[in-house]
Structure 1
Amino acid sequence: MKIVLKALIVAGALLGTAVPALAQEVLVSTQRRGGDAGYYGGIVATSRPVVALKRMADYAVITVRVSGDTRDMTTRRNDLKATIRNMIAAAAKGGFELATGDYVLEPLTLANYEALPFNGDGRPDTDQTYFLVKLKLAPGMTLKLARDRMDAFIKAVPTAGRSVVRNHEGLTLSVVNPDQYRGQIIELIAADAAMAAGKFAGGSGVDVSGLDRPVEWARAEETNVFLYLPASYVIRKR
């Protein structure tokens, strides 16, 4: 049986040639859009191929809202910034990380936290901002346990003035550098194609396409995610 790969970059990977990967952390709240060659093109629900790598995500992630309603704007924003600094310090001590981003995540640190935007919440003399709290997942950790730990962390943050920290959205997951799993996914596709071709008498070959596309992802159950390539194959007679 012969499997023909219609992508030179993938053929190079199978031969041991290094293939560049995008070392980015991405949210897995929905599916990565099929046909999008970059990470910033948007998200829509797409169908997932049958062949996919299922693994535990790297982080549990939750959005938090930090708000304040002190009448004086300078005092209000200074209080918000002080509360955010307290969160950064507490996260480092408690095993949490802070980040920003709707799709690709970037660390939130003392070096960049002042770039967070402040917006009113519809009431006079108010400001609010949003960012993410992350917890590294470990084997056996459930979503409930992760959520309980994150809730406890958020409630324990020392706040300044009239600042308030609250959960804003439900818990989701993130994966660091999805493209690092390309080789494992290709092995799964090759094994599935070989198995399917072997079911046909007389010897068959397989043409595989789509292996040169970026890795895509979707939520699975609990703390797991599916990582896959938008690949397909056709079995043909030799």
Structure 2
Amino acid sequence: MKLLFTMMSIALVTTPGLAMAQADEVIVTAQRRSADDYNSAQPAVGLKRTADFAVQEVTITGDTRDPKGRSNEIYATLANAIAQAPKSGVQLAYGTQTIQPITLRNYRDLTLARDSRPDSQKLTLLIKAPLQNGRDAQAAEAAITAFVKAVRLEGRALMETSDDLTFSIVDPDQYRPAIADVIAADAKAMAAKLGPDYGVEIEGLNRPDEWNRAGLSEVLLFIPYKLVIVPKR
């Protein structure tokens, strides 16, 4: 998609068909979402906003000698975590890029993996703390830490954090019109600075949204577009 911006008129077209049919929740890291055929350069212009959740990876491990007893202790500890979560103001989820909630209906669907020690297994999940009402990443991390300590452990099961804090955002494609507004405003300002003999073209607005971590509690949502200066004919 290619658009021409001048000082006299501005047109911005988005593609409604790109909207996702389902409101997914995605993990936001310091790296771009992988895209095989896109330029890796991130544009300077995007929409910065506070993430919806702080997300912490947590691992439940067990080393009871009996395999069935070990499995039962790990899953029972997870069930206790599900019961404790509302009291601690957090939520449980699973997944790597797009994440789903963990409930008493599906918690036993999570697969146990081998741990680094003999006769031990582990189960990895995510703890989410909402970033709202002035809560920042530090406060969210404290809430997650308190939650992990509050969960009742079963048998020889242990529960501990296992990775750095990251973030998630719900339905990132809902921000596509706002991202387009930011791009349009920047292109209009650039065209005005160039003078009457030049304009700018925008290429790539048909590409899907992407996202990066942009601060302590913020994410940057953007479309990997390209801004080109062109002489007027």
Q: With structure 1 as the length reference, what TM-score do the two structures score?
A: 0.86
Tell me the equivalent position of 2:23. Answer: 23
Looking at structure 2, the residues matched to 58 and 108 of structure 1 have their Cα atoms a distance apart, in angstroms, of 18
Looking at structure 2, the residues matched to 50 and 201 of structure 1 have their Cα atoms a distance apart, in angstroms, of 22
Are residues 1:57 and 2:62 paired? Answer: no
Deviation readout 1:75-100 (Å, 9 max, x if unpaired): 11111111101101111332211111
Are residues 1:158 and 2:152 paired? Answer: yes
**Runs of 5+ unmatched residues, structure 1:** 38-44
CA contact (8 A) 2:59 2:162 kept: yes
- AA in 2 matched with 1:31: Q
Query: Any residues of structure 2 matched to 1:1-238 within 5 Å, and which?
Result: 1=6, 2-3=9-10, 10=14, 20-21=19-20, 22-33=22-33, 35=35, 46-202=40-196, 204-236=198-230, 237-238=232-233
- AA in 2 matched with 1:30: A
Q: SS in structure 2 opposite 1:169?
A: coil
**Runs of 5+ unmatched residues, structure 2:** 1-5
CA contact (8 A) 1:70 1:76 kept: yes
CA contact (8 A) 2:49 2:219 kept: yes
The CA RMSD over aligned residues, in Å, is: 2.3
Deviation readout 1:123-178 (Å, 9 max, x if unpaired): 22211110100011114322221111110100110111111101111111111111
Looking at structure 1, the residues matched to 121 and 195 of structure 2 have their Cα atoms a distance apart, in angstroms, of 70
Q: SS in structure 1 opposite 2:114?
A: coil
Change in CA separation of 1:137 and 1:211 when aligned onto 2, cut-off 3 Å: same
| Identical positions, percent | 42
Tell me the equivalent position of 1:41. Answer: none
Cα deviation for residue 36 of structure 1 reads 5.1
CA contact (8 A) 2:18 2:208 kept: no
Cα deviation for residue 122 of structure 1 reads 3.0
CA contact (8 A) 1:4 1:207 kept: no
Change in CA separation of 1:34 and 1:230 when aligned onto 2, cut-off 3 Å: farther
Q: SS in structure 2 opposite 1:91?
A: helix
Q: With structure 2 as the length reference, what TM-score do the two structures score?
A: 0.87
Tell me the equivalent position of 1:40. Answer: none
Structure 1 stretch displaced more, 164-173 or 137-146: 137-146
Cα deviation for residue 109 of structure 1 reads 1.2
